[in-house]
Amino acid sequence: MPTGLDRALWRAVAAFRVLSLGYAGGLIVHHRHLYDRPVVAWSVLGGMAVWTVLATKLYAVRAPHPGALLLVIDLTLAVGAVLATRAALSADRIAAGDPTLPVAWAAAPVLAWGVAAGPLGGALAGLAVSAADLVERWSAPSEATINGVVLLLLGGLVVGYVVQLARAAQAQLARAVQIEAATRERDRLAARIHDSVLQVLALVARRGGEIGGDAAELGRLAGEQEIALRTLVASPPQATQAGSSDLRALLTPYASSTVSVAAPAESVLLSTDAARDVADAVAAALDNVARHAGAGARAWVLVEDEGTAVVVTVRDDGEGFALGRLEEAAGSGRLGVDRSIRGRIRALGGDLAVTSSPGVGTEVEMRVPRTHQG
């Protein structure tokens, strides 16, 4: 399938061919009295006219890949038309600098090669036509001839290069359009999921809990999937200043049927590294709850922005422990995770406060100063 760009390029080559044919025709009519053998000139003009029509059709039909045969025939005919000048004009007139019979028309295949085969193709075709020009005037190559050669070579190169650029730009545009379509599709899916799938999952979670037994387990699973899917389709958090992250975006995914996450409505910015460390510390604290607080323990995460510091609290309603036994607990490995929490928060220049008592649960408060941004 030829793209719009390919069709436009071949139309441009065809236009060049027709216009340059007009120019060549005009010159031949104007110089008709100067030819030694006018019949050769008229024949060449006729041939050029026939090939202009044929080539336009053939290139249009075979776009975007005209094929080597068509390109070679095109180039051969142009070279032939240039060489035929010798048969029409006397050596004196050629030496005097009279133009070749096809003049600019001979550049049409150079353009075609450039479009079809890039800068190298264009330059090669330019070389071939230039060679014919030079053979034509071998006896006395004028400055105009050298100019023509340079122009042909550069023309072939530049056309090939520009066409390559245009094709790359078009491919990029196509990719961008594709990405945009995919994004739109994702938004549409998110809206549909929000309207239907999430509602049904929430409904299953609720009904399951009411029926109890196995259904309650199914309901719990549906509820967890609802939260996971909601996090997935929620629009990505808005881009913040470079190097900083919204702590809320990192912590809300921890919400589940047993974990509540409370935070301000506005973003809580920390440097990306600090935000990740705090999120890791919260994950470790929640892991601690799951391991040690006992079955059915629930946890609450509270994020507060105090301006100069960010405070994150993780509380559970589990078994808890006597604070006097903190070191003992740490020794027994029970608070091993706590040490990793403490290490992370201290490294950020923050404080950690642990309060706990048996039967009431444990509360871990992490306070991290804001050092760089306000």
Query: What residues line the site for other proteins (CB under 8 A)?
Result: 194-196, 198-200, 202-203, 205-207, 209-210, 223, 226-227, 230-231, 234, 252, 255, 257, 260-266, 298-300, 302-307, 313, 315, 317, 363
Work out how close the CB of 307 gets to other proteins at its nearest, in angstroms, rounded to a whole number: 6
Choose between 83 and 229: whose C-beta lies nearer to other proteins.
229
Choose between 127 and 215: whose C-beta lies nearer to other proteins.
215
Cα(179)–Cα(364) distance, integer angstroms: 44
Choose between 85 and 252: whose C-beta lies nearer to other proteins.
252
Report the number of secondary-structure helices (H) and strands (E) in the chain: 13, 7
Choose between 154 and 234: whose C-beta lies nearer to other proteins.
234
Cα(371)–Cα(252) distance, integer angstroms: 24
Work out how close the CB of 300 gets to other proteins at its nearest, in angstroms, rounded to a whole number: 4
β-strand pairing of 269-271 with 259-262: unpaired
Cα(291)–Cα(336) distance, integer angstroms: 11
Cα(76)–Cα(227) distance, integer angstroms: 71
Q: Is the dihedral of CA 281, 286, 291, 293 positive or negative?
A: positive
Task: Tell me if 41 sits within 8 A of 88, measured CB to CB.
Answer: yes
Work out how close the CB of 193 gets to other proteins at its nearest, in angstroms, rounded to a whole number: 11
Cα(261)–Cα(314) distance, integer angstroms: 9
Choose between 74 and 363: whose C-beta lies nearer to other proteins.
363
Work out how close the CB of 293 gets to other proteins at its nearest, in angstroms, rounded to a whole number: 13
Cα(50)–Cα(145) distance, integer angstroms: 27
Work out how close the CB of 7 gets to other proteins at its nearest, in angstroms, rounded to a whole number: 44
Backbone angles phi, psi at 52, to 5 degrees: -60, -45
Work out how close the CB of 13 gets to other proteins at its nearest, in angstroms, rounded to a whole number: 55
In 188-268, where do the E strands start and end?
Answer: 244-246, 259-262
Choose between 7 and 186: whose C-beta lies nearer to other proteins.
186
Choose between 136 and 305: whose C-beta lies nearer to other proteins.
305
Task: Tell me if 295 sits within 8 A of 308, measured CB to CB.
Answer: no
Q: Using only C-alpha atoms, what is the Rg of the chain? A: 40
Question: What's the CA angle centered on 211, arms 206 and 212, to 5 degrees?
Answer: 100
Work out how close the CB of 273 gets to other proteins at its nearest, in angstroms, rounded to a whole number: 23
Task: Tell me if 316 sits within 8 A of 289, measured CB to CB.
Answer: yes
Work out how close the CB of 202 gets to other proteins at its nearest, in angstroms, rounded to a whole number: 5
Work out how close the CB of 223 gets to other proteins at its nearest, in angstroms, rounded to a whole number: 6
Work out how close the CB of 355 gets to other proteins at its nearest, in angstroms, rounded to a whole number: 11
Q: Is the dihedral of CA 147, 148, 151, 157 positive or negative?
A: negative
Question: What's the CA angle centered on 355, arms 350 and 360, to 5 degrees?
Answer: 145
Choose between 42 and 300: whose C-beta lies nearer to other proteins.
300
Choose between 20 and 313: whose C-beta lies nearer to other proteins.
313
Q: Is 168 helix (H, G, I), strand (E, B) or coil?
A: helix
- The first and second tokens of residue 315, run together, are 């509380």
Nearest to 62 by CA among 6, 146, 121: 6
- The first and second tokens of residue 200, run together, are 């049904």
Choose between 306 and 328: whose C-beta lies nearer to other proteins.
306
